[in-house]
């Protein structure tokens, strides 16, 4: 046999063994195994009749050995090559060490392989693996006694391993369940997501064996206003969110006292008998989801673990075991970490949001303080509108400022955005329908905050009317059609102060959120403060102007009173002209005229003299 052929034979055998033992790449089997190869494995069902079955067997072995650390020892026993050098036989002894969960077992195997050389390639055509009995043939050729001993030992081992595996599988199930709670809690973006966590908790507790489970519950506490929000889920009632006061039932009094005592407090409450009857009435008064099962039970059991600003727990129709209580605590620990992270993120987001709002308010304040005339209100409302949009307030249609004293039977205001961009000062024509009269009347009523909603029909009627009047009639037809065909109704939020009002609108009928309205109120407060200062400055300027005029008059009066002859009117005329010019009045000149006897005498003065 040539060296090249022998080298290829040995290489083919080694690749086959490596692939079968998981030491090499199984992809080579297509090149080194005959399509109709046949072989025996070490188990009773391992009878392989083609290449595809072999690859499937190796894939199963790979999957089954994922958690096993395998070490192989290979001892070649025999090698035979036929006289025509086209058939080869290999026989090896194998000893493998398998480590599972810290325990190592050893197994002795025998393995033989037959290769055939065809078309310049060696290919495996047969193999046989066996697991011999560890007996002496002289004493027990068939290994019956040894088999019995091994069977007994194996049975004991199987029982032990089965118990251990059950325990480990149970732990794996619990860990997987805890991970699902953790991942759901970590994804929290808003308080309402707590209801989803309660739902997942309910289903997970059921999956790990909690019996007689009524519901899963999460509470968040508001100590300042003395209530907690109850996020409650069960398969019977579905999800429900309720606000429950800190008092009103002895069970609540006990619950609040214990669960709010520390950040890791545990409380257990049992309600039965007459107290259960009162409890049903208490639940109804809080608009909690009706639960007909409460009419059939004799007792109700609550278990809660605190996580500081919140808690997590369950209610059941029978008491839970110590083991279940400890398991519930593990769920609490998982939720605790995720919820605290959510609270931290919410605080950071709130702080960032507050910084954005303060920056926006400061820009509005700065622009308002720079105002010297009411005509500049247009620039102010542009700034207000821009900053509100920057804060993602859901404005669709515009923002408006009104000077309350200017509001009478019609509305005058300054607007920015939407149709309000068509004019500096908006004078709405008389429209005697609630769409306008409500707004006018509420502004005239005085300080306060209100919201309004109108239907799509009412919105369309108003804008159809508006587009008949200038400057809105000058809008192009595309813009008009876009407004008239827009879906939804019309919503408005308005905040009225002593001197000014600001209102924002949404022409799609989307309500402004409570947070949006709170921001609007802050903007109004800032603008009202600066506008009050503006009015004070105006008043001071008027007073200063009056004082300047009075002083000028007094100078002219004093000079006139000092006159001894009419010729002195020339000096008075010059003084009058200079005083008028000092008041900022542009004039050609000032003069005195004396009429009589068909003639007149004039004393005229200008900057050039008299």
Angle, vertex CA 599, rays to CA 596 and CA 602, nearest 5: 95
Q: Is the peptide bond before 527 cis (omega within 30 degrees of 0)?
A: no
> In CATH, which of 3.40.50, 3.30.450, 1.10.10, 3.40.630 is domain 370-536?
3.30.450
Indicate the pTM of the whole model. 0.52
pLDDT at 92: 93
CA distance 466 to 228: 49
Would the pLDDT of 530 be above 70?
Answer: yes
Q: Which residues pair with 272 in a beta bridge?
A: 299
Neighbour count for residue 555 (Cβ, 10 Å): 15
Backbone angles phi, psi at 589, to 5 degrees: 175, 175
pLDDT at 147: 66
Average pLDDT over residues 85-101: 90
| Identical topology for domains 3-132 and 370-536 | no
Q: For residue 81, name the pLDDT band (cuts at 50, 70, 90).
A: very high
pLDDT confidence band for 541 (50 / 70 / 90): confident
pLDDT at residue 142, as a whole number: 52
Which one is predicted more confidently, 185 or 520? 520
Residue 348 confidence (pLDDT): 85
* pLDDT at 425 > cutoff 80: no
How confident is the model over 428-442, as pLDDT tens digits?
Answer: 888 999 999 999 999
Domain boundaries defined on the chain: 3-132, 173-346, 370-536, 546-605
How far is 401 from 374, CA to CA, in rounded Å? 11
Asked if the model's pLDDT at residue 498 lies above 80, the reply is yes
Q: In 187-321, where does DSSP find H-type helix?
A: 193-207, 250-259, 273-285
Q: Which of 47, 2, 4, 39 is nearest to 19 (CA)?
A: 39
* Topology (CATH level 3) of domain 173-346: Beta-Lactamase (3.30.450)
pLDDT at 299 over 70: yes
Give residue 98's pLDDT: 86
Q: Which residues contact 564 (CB under 8 A, 6 or more apart)?
A: none
Average pLDDT, the chain: 88
Q: 145-154, 314-323, 406-415, 579-588 — which one is most confidently predicted on average? A: 314-323
Q: In what order do the strands lie in the sheet with 412-416?
A: 426-427, 412-416, 397-403, 500-506, 490-496, 448-454
Q: What is the DSSP letter of 428?
A: P
Any idea which architecture 3-132 has in CATH?
Roll (3.10)
Residue 424 has pLDDT above 70, yes or no: no
- Report whether pLDDT(535) > 60: yes
The tokens describing 468, both together, are 């008949």
pLDDT digits (tens, 9 = 90+) for 342-379: 888 788 888 999 999 999 999 988 988 888 777 788 88
């Amino acid at each position: 046999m040539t060296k090249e052929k022998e080298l290829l034979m040995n290489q083919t055998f080694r690749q086959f063994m490596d692939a079968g033992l998981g030491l090499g790449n199984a992809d080579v089997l297509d090149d080194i195994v005959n399509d109709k190869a046949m072989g025996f494995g070490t188990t009773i069902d391992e009878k392989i009749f083609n290449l595809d079955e072999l690859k499937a067997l190796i894939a199963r072995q790979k999957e089954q050995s994922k958690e096993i650390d395998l070490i192989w020892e290979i001892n070649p026993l025999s090698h035979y090559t036929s006289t025509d050098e086209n058939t080869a036989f290999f026989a090896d002894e194998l000893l493998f060490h398998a480590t599972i969960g810290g325990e190592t077992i050893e197994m002795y195997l025998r393995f033989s392989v037959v290769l055939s050389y065809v078309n310049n390639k060696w290919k495996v055509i047969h193999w046989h693996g066996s697991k011999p009995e560890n007996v002496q043939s002289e004493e027990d050729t068939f290994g019956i006694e040894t088999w019995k001993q091994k069977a007994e030992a194996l049975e004991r081992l199987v029982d032990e391993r089965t118990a251990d595996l059950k325990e480990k599988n149970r732990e794996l199930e619990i860990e997987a369940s805890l991970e699902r709670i953790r991942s759901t809690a970590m994804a929290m973006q808003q308080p309402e997501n707590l209801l989803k966590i309660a739902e997942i908790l309910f289903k997970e507790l059921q999956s790990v064996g909690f019996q007689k489970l009524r519901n899963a519950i999460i509470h968040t506490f508001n100590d300042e206003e003395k209530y907690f929000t109850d996020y409650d889920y069960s398969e019977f009632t579905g999800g429900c969110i309720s606000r429950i006061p800190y008092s009103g039932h002895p069970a609540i009094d006990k619950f609040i006292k214990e669960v709010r005592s520390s950040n890791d407090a545990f409380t257990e409450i049992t309600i039965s008998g007459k107290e259960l009857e009162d409890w049903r009435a208490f639940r109804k008064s809080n608009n909690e989801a009706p639960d007909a099962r409460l009419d059939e039970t004799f007792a109700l059991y609550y278990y809660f673990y605190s996580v500081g600003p919140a808690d997590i727990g369950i209610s059941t129709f029978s008491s839970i075991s110590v083991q279940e209580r400890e398991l519930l605590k593990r769920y609490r620990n998982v939720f605790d970490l995720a919820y605290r992270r959510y609270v931290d993120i919410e605080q950071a987001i709130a702080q960032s949001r507050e910084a954005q709002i303060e920056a926006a308010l400061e820009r509005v304040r700065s622009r308002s303080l720079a105002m010297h005339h009411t005509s500049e209100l247009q620039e102010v409302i542009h700034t207000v509108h821009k900053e509100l949009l920057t804060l993602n307030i859901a404005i669709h249609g515009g923002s408006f400022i009104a000077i309350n004293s200017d509001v009478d039977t019609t509305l005058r205001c300054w607007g920015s955005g939407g149709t309000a961009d068509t004019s500096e000062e908006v004078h709405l024509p008389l429209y005697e329908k609630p769409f306008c009269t409500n707004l006018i009347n509420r502004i005239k009523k005085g300080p306060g905050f209100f919201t309004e909603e109108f239907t799509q029909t009412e919105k369309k009627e108003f804008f159809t009317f508006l587009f008949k009047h200038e400057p809105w009639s000058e809008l192009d037809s595309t813009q008009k059609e876009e407004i008239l065909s827009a879906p939804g109704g019309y919503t408005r939020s308005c905040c009225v102060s002593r001197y000014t009002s600001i209102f924002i609108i949404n022409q799609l009928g989307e309500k402004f959120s409570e947070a949006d309205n709170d921001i609007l109120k802050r903007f109004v407060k800032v603008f009202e403060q600066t506008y009050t200062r503006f009015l004070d400055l105006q008043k001071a300027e008027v007073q200063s102007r009056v004082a300047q005029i009075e002083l000028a008059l007094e100078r002219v009066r004093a000079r006139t009173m000092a006159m001894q002859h009419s010729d002195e009117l020339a000096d008075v005329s010059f003084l009058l002209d200079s005083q008028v010019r000092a008041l900022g009045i542009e004039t050609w000149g000032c003069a005195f005229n004396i009429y009589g006897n068909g003639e007149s005498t004039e004393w005229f003065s200008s900057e050039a003299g008299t």
